[in-house]
Each structure stands twice: as structure tokens, then as C-alpha cells.
Amino acid sequence: MALANFDIKGGEMFSLTGHPGGHAKLTSAHGEVLYPSRLVEHLRDELRANLIELTSNNIEYRESLRNLDSIYPSVSGPDDNPYYRYVYGGNSPGLGVICSTVPGDSGSAAFAMERGEHPSVLVGIFLGGSDPRSVAWIPGLKYHEVLFPSEETIRVLDQL
């Protein structure tokens, strides 16, 4: 199985395959990356600008900006070029996604849809989703699922 060692972009499609609750294999198709693991400054600025259109009032807009700033802190890259890295749970790297999940899907593999030069590669591991007992929600900065990106797995293994 090939691991994706490239940036997964917003809008990338994937399928989630696992054994929720130890049951037979279940594949959920058509997951989508909402928030990639890295953003360069102009892409983050575009995301911030789009928040104006996605919010209905000033309070909701300010809350969305706070959410965006918390999931995309600034990081110094090579050559001191800053970029913004998606984080969850404080400082863990991730990908913000939307996909159909069921209880027990944590740990399921997320595979990229056919991409020509990168067919069927593992793009991440599903970490968490919505509480099935919660009220329905609309995916966005506040509510979405999280994958641990395979590129981070490769980075950690390279350091061993």
C-alpha cells in the first residue's frame, strides 16, 4: 500500500474503509477534504475572505475567524517562508474533512480517489467525527471530521 507523501489539497475526494465496531468491512465513498494540512498565505487569506459570505452576522463572523486562527496557526517553513498548518487538539497535525462515518470508524484508512499518477494511495487515518447523538450540523470550521495525514506518518518515520 502506498502512502501519500504529497500535500492533499482542499476539495480532494477520498473513501474511508474500515471495520467499525469490529464488524465486516465498510467503505464510505465521497469524503472530501475541506481544510488541507497546509496553507500558504494567499490561500489562507482567501479562506478568511470567504468567511464573510458564509456567515450571517458579525458575531458569527468573529467566531469563525477565531476558529480559523485556532486550526491554522502560523509556522516558519524552510527559507523562513511562513505557512499555516492545520492542527487539532492543541497541536496535532491533521486534515479537516467531511465524510459519512459511523461509531467505531476511528482508525479507518482514507484512500484518495483515482488520481492518475497516484492511484489508490493512503492519504490519512480517520481520527474523529461527529457525536451520533448530537443534533444535525452543517460542515464548516466549527464542525468537521479529522484525518491524520499520511505525510506526517512518513515525516515521523524519516526521523527515526
Q: What CATH number should be reported for the domain holding residue 1?
A: 2.40.10.10
Angstrom CA distances, 86 to 34, 97, 159, stand at 11, 11, 21
Chain-centre distance for alpha carbon 80:
25
pLDDT in tens, the chain (160 residues): 677 777 788 888 888 887 767 677 777 767 889 899 999 889 999 888 888 777 778 888 888 888 888 999 998 877 778 899 999 887 889 999 988 777 777 888 888 866 665 557 888 998 876 555 555 566 777 778 899 998 888 888 888 8
Q: Which residues touch 76 (CB under 8 Å, ≥6 apart)?
A: 82
Same-domain pairing of 65 and 107: no
Where does residue 148 rank: exposed (0-12), middle (13-18), buried (19+ CB within 10 A)? Answer: buried
- The HSE-up count of residue 149 (CA atoms within 13 Å, CB side) is 25
Q: Which residues touch 47 (CB under 8 Å, ≥6 apart)?
A: 39, 68
The structural domain count of the chain equals 2
Same-domain pairing of 24 and 103: yes
Given this model, what pLDDT does residue 95 score? 92
Given this model, what pLDDT does residue 128 score? 78
